[in-house]
């Protein structure tokens, strides 16, 4: 079984994914990191090829990791918006977990990161709220489990996910 973390940019998917990996011994992948390793920076891909090409690349990466087993996968914020990506993860034995966070927290974490996150370039609170409002029902519809992470630290979120999915902890954890 794989644990696939989805949610908005800034919801903690990478940090929580790493912590779940530490707790369980499962391999950890970050789809954005894999894209960067193979194709270069995500802002450059967006700038030179556009979002549609980025999403094609993302789907290619999803297919490559969805076939793995015993992994934690931190996805990009828009990854599971494409139904075929969510389906690939599930077909590969993945359980999708939506890390839900309030807009105020997301904006505080990412409102200034437009250089690294192309969809947040010149963002405003309202623009980010609209993006969250659009994406949340999609995240919820593909998720096998949702964790409301508001007020929780990384370790608590990771342990909540692991416990909910019945994944054993490494000894001593």
Lowest mean pLDDT among 42-51, 85-94, 106-115, 146-155: 106-115
What does the pLDDT look like over 119-134, one tens digit per residue? 555 667 888 899 899 9
In the DSSP assignment, the letter for residue 115 is T
Task: Check residue 120 and give its pLDDT.
Answer: 54
Give pLDDT, residue 9: 86
pLDDT, tens only, 49-76: 988 999 999 999 999 999 999 999 999 9
94: closest CA among 125, 69, 75? Answer: 69
* DSSP reduced 3-state for 28: strand
pTM above 0.75, yes or no: yes
In the chain, what are the domain boundaries?
Answer: 2-165
CATH superfamily assigned to domain 2-165: P-loop containing nucleotide triphosphate hydrolases (3.40.50.300)
Q: How far apart are CA 78 and CA 66, in angstroms?
A: 16
In this model, does residue 34 exceed pLDDT 50? yes
Give mean pLDDT, residues 135-160. Answer: 96
| pLDDT band for position 114 (cuts 50, 70, 90) | very low
List CB contacts of 79: < 8 A, sequence separation 6 or more: 6, 31, 58, 62, 85
């Amino acid at each position: 079984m794989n644990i696939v973390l989805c949610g908005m940019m800034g919801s903690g998917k990478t940090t929580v994914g790493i912590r779940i990996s530490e707790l369980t011994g499962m391999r950890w992948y970050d789809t954005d990191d894999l894209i960067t390793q193979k194709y270069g920076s995500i802002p450059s891909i967006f700038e030179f090829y556009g979002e549609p090409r980025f999403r094609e690349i993302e789907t290619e990466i999803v297919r490559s990791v969805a076939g793995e087993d015993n992994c934690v996968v931190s996805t990009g914020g828009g990854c599971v918006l494409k139904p075929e990506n969510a389906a690939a993860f599930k077909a590969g034995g993945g359980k999708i977990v939506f890390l839900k966070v309030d807009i105020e927290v997301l904006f505080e974490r990412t409102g200034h990161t437009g250089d690294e996150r192309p969809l947040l370039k010149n963002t405003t609170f309202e623009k980010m709220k609209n993006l969250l409002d659009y994406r949340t029902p999609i995240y919820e519809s593909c998720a096998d489990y949702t964790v409301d992470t508001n007020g929780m630290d990384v370790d608590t979120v990771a342990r909540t996910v692991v416990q909910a999915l019945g994944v054993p902890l490494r000894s001593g954890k």
